[in-house]
Structure 1
């Protein structure tokens, strides 16, 4: 007697149809029928009355059903107990990533997690930071890498990057010879920014509001590379983080914003209670070089 035979027996009993049972256990109908016949020969009794259109249990089948279910439940309990001891995880984990942001440590952490826990299915979603945080709060995502003006409340969070904002300009721009400029000076020019909902834009908008400034946003792009490229072509002053601008130092000059006190944060945000989150969060901390 094999566990798969008991699984097929329970499936046919519950579906009352060999075809539907075969679809449920993902093998052919003939395969299900053959295994049920083998089980019946071993038990010395027919388990199903096949004379009607529906597969109905015989007296022997009814007597066997609850024991078969108990045996399958016991086998599942054994598997789960072993997995708890060995640390093996199964299931799914939904991860979010801020759109237009390629962060290699995130990918390294996902790869290391997948290698250690191949039984966990990983999904990855891109979105703006505000929606990512709300998705974690609401349970649609288990963990996300999101931009933020400050660490969000109501969820677990830790900053992985904290950087000042800079204005990045092309050669020949009036600000190109400056090492530092005030926000009012920068806002006198057309700007190229990330869209609302991103952490960097939130920091910028708050700083402008604090000084009563209404900046002229000429162009918006969700990817830092696109913002930088537009500025490099002379279409406006790019508002970026320090490291984003440094990646384009051959084409842009970074000008420090002396009166924007708050840094832009890139943070890991997670919800407690999801089984795979602690293991993935541990990989994230390693990849980003964070202390436990």
Structure 2
């Protein structure tokens, strides 16, 4: 018994025709017929009734069909397993992360992944969140650590690592140093220090301000410079609460802006074996955490 005999038998049974089955498996019709006949002789029973206009299953053929399908399915599963293992040996994953992110989750994840799959080539690039999201959606990246405000970006699956309120972080010399909270309306009256558009933190600030635009006096591409400028007394720095450090963190209310940091990947679309392995590891680590 050969796999191609089972394949041709299943094709004829499903198509109800030797001609259509031959077209499906890309073999001449006499070849399909001959191989099915050999299978029937080996089993000692007719599997197909050829007496009518359409080819139908005999009782024996109906009993054999599920087993033939199962055998072909097992072979295909074995082939996919080998292909995936080969992909994990010589594959590659393209990863992005937000600029100057101090959270250790991504380096730890990559270290664990490299230990498990040392043959996979890993590339890592920094960018702002909007650029990373666009690169994920169009397939330039397989996986990224992004920041965002509101709901998950369209077309992406995310696993949130941090969900923090934003604060106005000020130096001791700032008029707000004695304040515990300020409203968004009050925030709009000050010249602020912020990350640029396209970052998750800036997106959360802009979302909280609604139709009004915040007045950005100083803009820096990474949180350390934003903190340094605020430490020099140049104004309130809008940051996630965990970033305030030795600055005085003033809560922002009415509304309370939130920024989220998350692992992200395309919700649908092709993923390489290496990318699927990385995504699975990320999901397990977030769930375990």
Shorter-chain TM-score: which interval?
Answer: 0.5 to 0.7
Match of 2:167 in 1: 166
Match of 1:175 in 2: 176
> In structure 2, how many angstroms separate the alpha carbons of the residues matched to 1:155 and 1:187?
32
Residues 88 and 274 of structure 2 are in contact (CA less than 8 Å); yes or no, is this contact kept in structure 1?
no
Q: CA deviation at 1:286?
A: 4.7
Q: CA deviation at 1:155?
A: 2.1
Match of 1:261 in 2: 256
Q: CA deviation at 1:123?
A: 0.2
> In structure 2, how many angstroms separate the alpha carbons of the residues matched to 1:147 and 1:108?
18
Count of paired positions: 208
Match of 1:130 in 2: 130
Q: CA deviation at 1:88?
A: 4.6
The normalised TM-score by structure 1 is 0.66
Q: CA deviation at 1:244?
A: 1.2
Residues 166 and 256 of structure 2 are in contact (CA less than 8 Å); yes or no, is this contact kept in structure 1?
no
> In structure 2, how many angstroms separate the alpha carbons of the residues matched to 1:238 and 1:142?
33
Q: CA deviation at 1:82?
A: 5.1
Name the SS for the 2:173 alignment partner: coil
Change (3 A) 1:196 1:87: closer
The normalised TM-score by structure 2 is 0.66
Q: CA deviation at 1:179?
A: 0.8
> In structure 2, how many angstroms separate the alpha carbons of the residues matched to 1:182 and 1:169?
15
> In structure 1, how many angstroms separate the alpha carbons of the residues matched to 2:228 and 2:241?
16
Change (3 A) 1:216 1:87: closer
**CA displacement 1:91-123 (0-9 Å, x = unmatched):** 110000011213211001001101110111000
Name the SS for the 2:242 alignment partner: helix
* RMSD between aligned residues: 2.4
Match of 2:236 in 1: 237
Task: Give ranges in structure 2 of 5+ residues lacking alignment.
Answer: 1-77
Q: CA deviation at 1:85?
A: 6.5
Map 1:61-72 → 2, pairs under 5 A: none
Task: Give ranges in structure 1 of 5+ residues lacking alignment.
Answer: 1-77
Match of 2:277 in 1: 279
> In structure 2, how many angstroms separate the alpha carbons of the residues matched to 1:283 and 1:277?
10
Residues 129 and 197 of structure 1 are in contact (CA less than 8 Å); yes or no, is this contact kept in structure 2?
yes
Map 1:11-26 → 2, pairs under 5 A: none
> In structure 2, how many angstroms separate the alpha carbons of the residues matched to 1:142 and 1:163?
26
Match of 1:290 in 2: 287
Name the SS for the 1:176 alignment partner: helix
Q: CA deviation at 1:152?
A: 0.7
1:218 aligns with 2:213: no
Q: Structure 1 stretch 142-151 or stretch 260-269: which is displaced more?
A: 260-269
Residues 151 and 159 of structure 1 are in contact (CA less than 8 Å); yes or no, is this contact kept in structure 2?
no
**CA displacement 1:38-91 (0-9 Å, x = unmatched):** xxxxxxxxxxxxxxxxxxxxxxxxxxxxxxxxxxxxxxxx99865757995431
Match of 2:188 in 1: 187
Match of 2:62 in 1: none
Q: Structure 1 stretch 227-236 or stretch 98-107: which is displaced more?
A: 98-107
Change (3 A) 1:277 1:260: farther
